Chain A
């Protein structure tokens, strides 16, 4: 009797999973963004970490000043022609796996800035996983985009740059 009850109690405290699932769960629960605010969208990006919206619930509140510690680049604002090489360098410095969220109309398509100075969509420069619409997007919208990214990670879908290099989506 004593032995079986111990075994039952032990089984109650154990969860079985695969290493893969476990890794994905850990990855999606600590997606750390790089500090990369380019324009007014950055204000909304900052407020998403505040206590009112509390991005910390999803483990993404730690904005890293170094791209080497970041998993996610939130392109928050219009990307000028002069900023594009800088953005690309920062993206290349991020360790893999890495994701990119294009936040707002300007980052996604150039927005109202249809002129010589602005890149017409940041996906010309880096591969984008999630596009968040809005001008600027509300913090809720950005949070929704981050949640969509978490879903993507949980499902085991590869980041966009792997999709592109490995040829065809899985």
Chain B
């Protein structure tokens, strides 16, 4: 694992004792954050730790497990050259706080996650579909979405 900010996980665990779960990973420090603490954690990571650059929001559908969605955030510290990944689990009827107020770069990735998985980000300035047509029904990357193409015979 590339570590140019080696104590980041220790510092985060001291700041949020007992609530973070460190995930073993080969590329960058990774923690799982409870959904309720996500916004406070993100604010700390940006304003105190200095991870000011936002890379991406990813999602994975673990259907039929509950909660089914795993939402993954990638952030970057441009002065320490250190990446950090934090993720949280959410169900389909649970909204997540939007990161747009903290990192403007979260705008389009969150719309993408909404478009393809149907994850709702509360406080997003314009949570509409970004790839699919506006009148599309359903969220295609969900595991219970039909895999075959539509046939009009």
The tally of CB-CB contacts under 8 A between chains A and B is 29
Residues A76-121 near B (CB distance < 8 A): 81-82, 110, 113-120
* CB–CB A120/B133 < 8 A: no
* CB–CB B133/A82 < 8 A: yes
Question: Which residues of A lie under 8 Å from residue B140 when comparing CB positions?
Answer: 115-117
Closest B residue to A125 by CB, please name it. Answer: B152
* CB–CB A116/B149 < 8 A: yes
Q: At the interface, yes or no: B47 with Cβ under 8 Å from chain A?
A: no
Most chain A CB neighbours (cut-off 10 Å) among B140, B149, B150, B151: B149
Q: At the interface, yes or no: A124 with Cβ under 8 Å from chain B?
A: yes
Q: How many residues of B contact A (CB 8 A)?
A: 11
Summarize A's interface: helix, strand, loop or mixed: loop
Residues A100-152 near B (CB distance < 8 A): 110, 113-120, 124
Q: Given A81-B133, A82-B132, A82-B133, A120–B147 Cβ distance below 8 Å?
A: no
Question: Which residues of B lie under 8 Å from residue A124 when comparing CB positions?
Answer: 152
* CB–CB B150/A116 < 8 A: yes
Q: CA separation between A163 and B130, bound complex, in Å?
A: 39
Which single member of B133, B145, B148, B152 contacts A114 (CB below 8 Å)? B148
Most chain A CB neighbours (cut-off 10 Å) among B132, B140, B150, B151: B150
Question: Which residues of A lie under 8 Å from residue B133 when comparing CB positions?
Answer: 81-82
Q: At the interface, yes or no: B146 with Cβ under 8 Å from chain A?
A: yes
* CB–CB A120/B149 < 8 A: yes
Query: Within the complex, what minimum Cβ distance (angstroms) separates A164 from chain B?
Result: 15
* CB–CB A120/B145 < 8 A: no
Measured CB to CB, the residues of A under 8 A from B are 81-82, 110, 113-120, 124
Please name 17 further chain A to chain B contacts, defined as beta carbons within 8 Å, in addition to the given A115-B140, A116-B147, sorted by A numbering: A81-B132, A81-B133, A81-B150, A82-B133, A110-B149, A114-B147, A114-B149, A115-B148, A116-B140, A116-B145, A116-B146, A116-B149, A117-B140, A118-B149, A119-B149, A120-B149, A120-B151
Which are the 10 A-B pairs with shortest beta-carbon distances?
A120-B149, A116-B140, A114-B149, A124-B152, A114-B148, A115-B149, A110-B149, A120-B151, A118-B149, A82-B133
